[in-house]
Amino acid sequence: MSDKKRRMYGFIIGLAFGVPYSLISQFINVWALPDIPLYEMPIGRVASVFLISLFTGVAGLIVAWDEEAFWGLLGSSLLAVFSSSLLAFINSGENQVVTSFFLSMFTFLPRLVFYLPLGLFLRWLLGILDTTGRVPSSGLSRLLKVTFSILIVAVIGGRFSKLSPEAINSVIAMNALVLDGMSAVAGAGDLPEVLIPVDGFTTYATGDYTLSWSSDVDSLPVTRPMVEFGVTESLVIVRFENGYIFGCVFTPPANVPKCINISRVR
């Protein structure tokens, strides 16, 4: 196979993998929770799909650039580390750029190794199409093998972005809590007890909002029950369009939310 043809195949294979993978990873939670206003990173889901697809296409091109696999694998891993760091900087906001930079530096080598399987997978797919030095098989069978391999790995990889059942239940409970609280503020009932300590809720909890889930429960300074190792706790953050932000920690098995204001309201 000529260099030009090999590189073209590499780019097409990478792009073909990136499109379904990015669609699933970016939208799987939206599909799972269609009635929940999930938080969207500043760059946006559609833009993320485009950039991830473009990245995997370029990664495939780099993997296929030389007949020797080593330099292509190293180059694609370096590209992945750089791209993920750049995306983190874009989504971090002005207040966390420095933290994001040092975190990227400390995790450089682990991420370099982490992204190697992607390059190996793309190189393996390229090897299926490249029949140089061996008896060529049916073009259709090779194409089907590559296509099904891409779809299977893309679906499996994209599904890793799906929230766990515990996380989904916490997000649903948080959404119901916010709606109850907003109804109470509007005069339709009593404010839920867990929202009473949340500074500024009755004043600023109005308008559109979004929810985001995190496992970093220690970042919210609330008193919560001790849990055994391996138990999944949930931090759900609510961001209102007017800039008001508060969060709640859900601790199994009771899952009684412990909430506190995050944004400055005074």
- Strands lying side by side in the sheet with 258-261: 209-214, 234-240, 245-250, 258-261
Beta strands, E only, 76-204 = none
Residues contacting residue 114 through CB under 8 Å, at least 6 positions apart: none
Q: Which residue has the higher pLDDT, 206 or 74?
A: 206
pLDDT at 266: 45
The 10 Å Cβ neighbour count of residue 31 is: 9
Condensed to tens digits (0 to 9), the pLDDT of residues 214-261 reads: 988 888 888 888 888 878 899 999 999 999 999 999 999 888 999 999
Residue 91 banded pLDDT, cuts 50, 70, 90: low
State residue 104's pLDDT score. Answer: 62
Instruction: Flag whether pLDDT at 4 surpasses 90.
Output: no
The answer to whether the pTM exceeds 0.85 is no
pLDDT at 94: 46
Judge whether 248 and 177 are in contact, CB under 8 Å. yes
Is 185 exposed, middle or buried, given 0-12, 13-18 or 19+ CB atoms closer than 10 A? middle
Give the mean pLDDT of 11-29: 94
Mind giving me the DSSP string for 173-217?
A: HHHHHHHHHHHHHTTSSPPPGGGTTSTTHHHH--S-EEEEEES-G
Is residue 213 over pLDDT 90? yes
- Who has greater pLDDT, 126 or 24? 24
